[in-house]
Amino acid sequence: MNIIVTGASRGIGYELGRLFATDINNKVVVIARNRLKLEQLRRECVSQYPGAKIFPLVLDLAEERLPASFIPQLMACIGSVDVLVNNAGTLVNKPFEELEQQEVESLFRVNILSLFEMMRLLIPYMGKGERPTHIVNISSMGGFQGSRKYAGLSAYSASKAALACLTECLAEEFAGRNISVNCLCLGAVQTEMFTQAFPGERALMTPLKMAHFVRDFSMNGAGFYNGKIIPVSATLP
Ligand SMILES: NC(=O)c1ccc[n+]([C@@H]2O[C@H](COP(=O)([O-])OP(=O)(O)OC[C@H]3O[C@@H](n4cnc5c(N)ncnc54)[C@H](OP(=O)(O)O)[C@@H]3O)[C@@H](O)[C@H]2O)c1
């Protein structure tokens, strides 16, 4: 399968990129800003799984536009898209009245606005295989309608709620094009982001364990789910 994972330089995305790369039939593009971490991931995969096909691509999703080189670089590695995991995300933990407009805009750019451009550019390369292309949007329980909310996470949770809604819209819009779009609303996972959101607390879920779930869902869920917003959480927060 031809796979793209954003936010693969640490946390859940790092483990996810590694898991996809264990199958040498997969071609995996891993995206983030941190070139060194992506290169470390590539080296780790190639040494552990000889023949692994993993391609680091450095990209800052906070930029207003994607660079013109983005699609040519990507397609030189994979040619078409079977799985896209929109996993990159950023978080601001601040009381609402202390939020600066610039940081809210930057957060929304990374967590939701950048996906509009990226997915628009990738659509022509999707739905080409026998099985539907699966777009998996990684949202949060904070963005799941009706869930418990936490002070300080308004911008983050609102951006993740937008991602959940976009999922439903795109599933409708891409109907008949052999593309499925689903959204996983994750609960607490012990990563840098969790520590930022809930300082001093510990999550029971490891990034590797969550990555196993996301990997399996991404590979197998497309024929069973479309336009679904799925909570993936056994604990609070
Ligand atoms: N951990 C949790 O408890 C939890 C709960 C619910 C949902 N989630 C969601 O799960 C996803 C992964 O979270 P995580 O906990 O693994 O977070 P993390 O450890 O903080 O990793 C975030 C990833 O996103 C990338 N990223 C951030 N800003 C970026 C930018 N401007 N351009 C490109 N990439 C960027 C980071 O790479 P660079 O810094 O190298 O760019 C990093 O690889 C996120 O969407 C998050 O909202 C996490």
The tens digit of pLDDT for each residue in 25-44 reads 999 999 999 999 999 999 99
Q: Where are the domains of the chain?
A: 2-232
Percent of all residues in the chain with a pLDDT value above 70, rounded to a whole number: 100
Give the per-residue pLDDT at 19.
98
| Ligand 1 centroid to residue 176 C-alpha, Å | 31
Flag whether pLDDT at 63 surpasses 90.
Answer: yes
> pTM here?
0.98
User: 87 C-alpha vs ligand 1 centroid, how far in Å?
Assistant: 6
How high does pLDDT run on average in the chain?
97
Q: Is 139 a catalytic residue?
A: yes
> How much is the average pLDDT of 113-135?
96
How far is the C-alpha of 113 from the C-alpha of 126, rounded, in Å? 20
pLDDT of residue 105: 98
- With a 6 Å cutoff on the Cβ, whether 107 touches ligand 1 is no
Active-site residue, 160 included = yes
Catalytic residue among 139, 140, 157, 218: 139
Arithmetic mean of pLDDT, 60-89: 97
How many whole angstroms separate alpha carbon 53 and alpha carbon 58?
Answer: 17
Distance 123 CA to ligand 1 centre (A): 23
Q: Which pLDDT belongs to residue 223?
A: 87
Start-to-end Cα distance in the chain: 34
143 — phi, psi (to 5°)? Answer: -100, 5
The verdict on the CB of residue 192 being under 6 Å from ligand 1 is yes
Element (H, E) at 183: strand 179-186
Q: Which CATH number fits domain 2-232: 3.40.50.720, 3.90.1150.10, 3.60.20.10, 3.30.70.120?
A: 3.40.50.720
Q: Cβ distance 167 to 229 under 8 Å?
A: yes
Ligand 1 test: best mutation among 5, 6, 12, 195, most atoms within 8 Å of CB? 12
Q: Is the pLDDT assigned to residue 235 strictly greater than 90?
A: no
